[in-house]
């Protein structure tokens, strides 16, 4: 097991290097540089000498390969640089805003599981029933609905029907759990309902395949009740595809749901990324996008390891 984990981590290093090269090159290709944003912030136009001096201070006047190696060296030491705009170490921004996005991502996954897995199992067990058709219809409808429209509907329903008044200022989970829940449940529902529709369709398809398998027919022939067949043989094996999708979804959600966080004014990674792009804050953009890659790789390793515990027949050797 540990050899497998070590091998996966080593294989992830070339992937991260490739991601870092793409991020670095993409940012440098975009026209303009942070000194132009400083013009607007300062309220006056820099002379060319002042602009060059500012480039030297920011370190963007050096050759590209030196800039890249400096950034990678900082990553290896845990130094992600300093935000050009906020004048704050990037690691501090991630430390404060990362847990917010992670919490919303985990809540969204939980909503998706609670909604999608039971609906998928019901649809497979009651195949071609009225309930199955209804659940499939709503799954397709929710999949086709854009996130901004879903968010608008949730806000309208919560405010008009339930008189929901979320806090205007974000409160940490450990400071005021109820206020924190009110602030984060909206974006979690927007992302979780869409995931639930995906989970419902995947679970239904997986359960249908397993119900027609040989070992399920054997279990029924031995006289096991339908409930024992479902709980002991079908459910455990059918969640493997859902776990895979959950891992991929969580990797993206931890990085921050940009549009949703902006719509609900949640101070997460996604909102920071929008501000960084608008202000050409290169160190912050590089680090936040790199966080996406790291989260995907780490979560995928965790998911691969979890397969062994879900289904002992799967071996990682």
CA neighbours closer than 13 Å in the CB half-sphere of residue 77: 9
Is the four-CA dihedral 149, 154, 155, 157 of positive or negative sign?
A: positive
Distance (Å, whole) CA 6 – CA 131: 46
C-beta separation of 269 from 97 below 8 A: yes
Q: Which pLDDT belongs to residue 56?
A: 80
- Measured from the Cβ of residue 26, the count of other Cβ atoms closer than 10 Å reads 12
Residue-wise pLDDT tens for the chain (317 aa)? 677 777 777 888 888 889 889 988 888 887 766 766 655 555 556 677 777 787 787 777 788 888 888 888 888 888 888 887 778 888 888 888 888 888 888 888 899 889 888 898 888 888 888 988 888 888 888 888 877 777 778 777 777 777 767 676 777 778 888 888 888 888 888 888 888 888 898 888 888 888 888 878 888 888 877 778 787 777 777 878 888 888 777 766 665 567 777 777 788 888 888 888 877 788 888 888 888 888 888 887 788 777 767 766 655 45
Residue 4 Cα to chain centre, angstroms: 25
- Measured from the Cβ of residue 280, the count of other Cβ atoms closer than 10 Å reads 20
Q: Which pLDDT belongs to residue 178?
A: 84
C-beta separation of 191 from 101 below 8 A: no
Each domain of the chain, given as residue ranges in start order, spans: 94-280
Residue 135: which of 123, 124, 150, 118 has the closest Cα? 123
Output the six-digit token pair for 312: 């002992």
- Measured from the Cβ of residue 22, the count of other Cβ atoms closer than 10 Å reads 12
Q: Which pLDDT belongs to residue 180?
A: 82
Q: Which pLDDT belongs to residue 41?
A: 52
Distance (Å, whole) CA 92 – CA 123: 46
Distance (Å, whole) CA 72 – CA 196: 38
Instruction: Confirm or reject CATH 1.10.3720.10 for domain 94-280, answering yes or no.
Output: yes
The pTM assigned to this predicted structure is: 0.79
């Amino acid at each position: 097991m540990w050899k497998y984990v070590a091998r996966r981590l080593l294989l992830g290093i070339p992937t991260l290097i490739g991601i870092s090269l793409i991020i670095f090159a993409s940012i440098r290709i975009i026209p303009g540089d942070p000194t132009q944003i400083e013009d607007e912030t300062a309220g006056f136009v820099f002379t060319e000498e002042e602009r060059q001096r500012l480039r030297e201070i920011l370190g963007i006047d050096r050759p590209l390969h030196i800039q890249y190696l400096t950034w990678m060296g900082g990553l290896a030491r845990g130094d992600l640089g300093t935000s050009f705009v906020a004048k704050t170490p990037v690691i501090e921004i991630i430390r404060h805003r990362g847990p917010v996005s992670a919490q919303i991502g985990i809540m969204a996954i939980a909503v998706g599981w609670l909604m999608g897995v039971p609906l998928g199992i019901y649809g497979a067990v009651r195949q071609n029933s009225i309930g199955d058709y209804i659940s499939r219809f709503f799954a397709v409808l929710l999949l086709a609905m854009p996130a901004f429209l879903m968010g608008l509907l949730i806000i309208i329903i919560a405010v008009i029907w339930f008189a929901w008044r979320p806090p205007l200022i974000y409160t940490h989970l450990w400071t005021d759990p109820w206020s924190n829940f009110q602030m984060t449940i909206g974006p979690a529902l927007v992302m979780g309902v869409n995931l639930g529709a995906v989970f419902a369709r995947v679970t239904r398809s997986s359960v249908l395949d397993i119900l027609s398998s040989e070992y399920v027919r054997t279990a029924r022939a031995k006289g096991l009740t339908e409930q024992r067949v479902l709980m002991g043989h079908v459910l455990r094996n059918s969640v493997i595809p859902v776990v895979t999708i959950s891992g991929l979804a969580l990797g993206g959600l931890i990085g921050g749901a940009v549009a949703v966080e902006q719509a609900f004014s949640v101070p997460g990674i996604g909102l920071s990324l929008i501000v960084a792009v608008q202000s050409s804050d290169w160190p912050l953009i590089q680090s936040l996008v790199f966080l996406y890659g790291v989260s995907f790789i780490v979560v995928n390793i965790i998911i691969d390891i979890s397969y062994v515990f879900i289904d002992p027949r799967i071996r990682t050797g």
